[in-house]
Amino acid sequence: MKASIVIPTRNRRKVLERTLKYLFFQDYPQDQYEIIVIDDGSTDGTHEMVRAQESRCKLVCLRHEERKGQAVARNWGIREAQGEVVIFIDDDIFCPPQFISEHVKYHEKEDNLIVDGPAINIGEGDFSFTDRDKLLLAFFNFFGSVFVTANTSCRKEHLLKAEGFDEKFGTGFGWYDLDLGFRLMAMGLKRKKNRRAFAFHYKPAKIQKVGFSFQQRLNKQKDRGKNAVYLYKKHQSKKVGRRVRLHYRWYGRLLPLKGRVTEREEPVFEAMSRKKLLWPFLWKIYMIKAYAEGLEEGFAHTRTGKQKDG
């Protein structure tokens, strides 16, 4: 088998079902790729939905009874993968028919590669993989991190040699993929972007359509801030510090609000998410504050750990 698509998920049954439908209809030979879904402790019937699918390719669903975190979930997927090439996507990534072919052909040309493709944000409504505006966004996508699991691939042998994702990132959100990217690059792998391996990242404007409440989004940003500190301490690099935006720590101290909302405030924020002018600014302010609080907690935890060790 040539390729394995690894998808961790948790309580995103509806959007995951759409993601799977696009993967079932690839132009790549059906007997040469598999889809591995890792259900990380879902309670919404995700496991049952996946098992009920009529897949044209091999479909595997692994399940954690309790949440373990994305690093643990993806590592399980790597170990179980039968493909030479492992392609990572998220559970809300919609892939065009040539997606797998485009990833694999780069790895067939060179062995020591990290291949990534653009993940173009889309909202609600109809869309087309041949939309000219979206294709232009993919073509001019020159930037991005060295290893973003929304749309990236690597040979399984290299992932195993690097010992996979660092599971010390825990159940928190963010930066565990960048950490693996740094380690793969240190092993001598090169990063190449294939703009034809683009995919659409489903990000509707309404909060409830995403599958998360506003507070859950804030919690993810706070976790991301904590993980940023762990990544920075692990690599001890100014470049990493800039990449994870440690300066947001100081921005957070200047913002006179808390990075959380009450249940009573949730409907207000849901209503405001429909206001195109005000919402993006308010969203950004709250997300920065939540991220800053995560940074503060991360540094406080580091100091406490040192005191205990001493």
What residue ranges do the domains of the chain occupy? 3-202, 213-309
* CA gap 63, 39 in Å, rounded: 5
Report how far apart, in Å, the C-alpha atoms of 65 and of each of 16, 30, 39, 68 are: 18, 30, 8, 9
Percent of the chain with pLDDT over 90: 64
**Residues linked to residue 116 through DSSP beta bridges, in sequence order:** 152, 193
User: Which of 188, 34, 200 is CA-nearest to residue 104?
Assistant: 34
Residues 6+ apart with CB under 8 A from 263: none
Q: Which architecture does CATH list for 3-202?
A: Alpha-Beta Complex (3.90)
User: What confidence tens digit (pLDDT) does each residue in 199-213 have?
Assistant: 999 987 654 444 467
pLDDT in tens, 75-116: 999 999 999 999 999 999 999 999 999 999 999 999 999 999
The rounded distance, in Å, linking the Cα atoms of 287 and 260 is 9
pTM greater than 0.85? yes
- 240-285: pLDDT as tens digits: 999 999 999 887 777 777 666 667 776 776 666 666 667 777 778 8
Q: Is residue 165 very low, low, confident or very high in pLDDT (cuts 50, 70, 90)?
A: very high
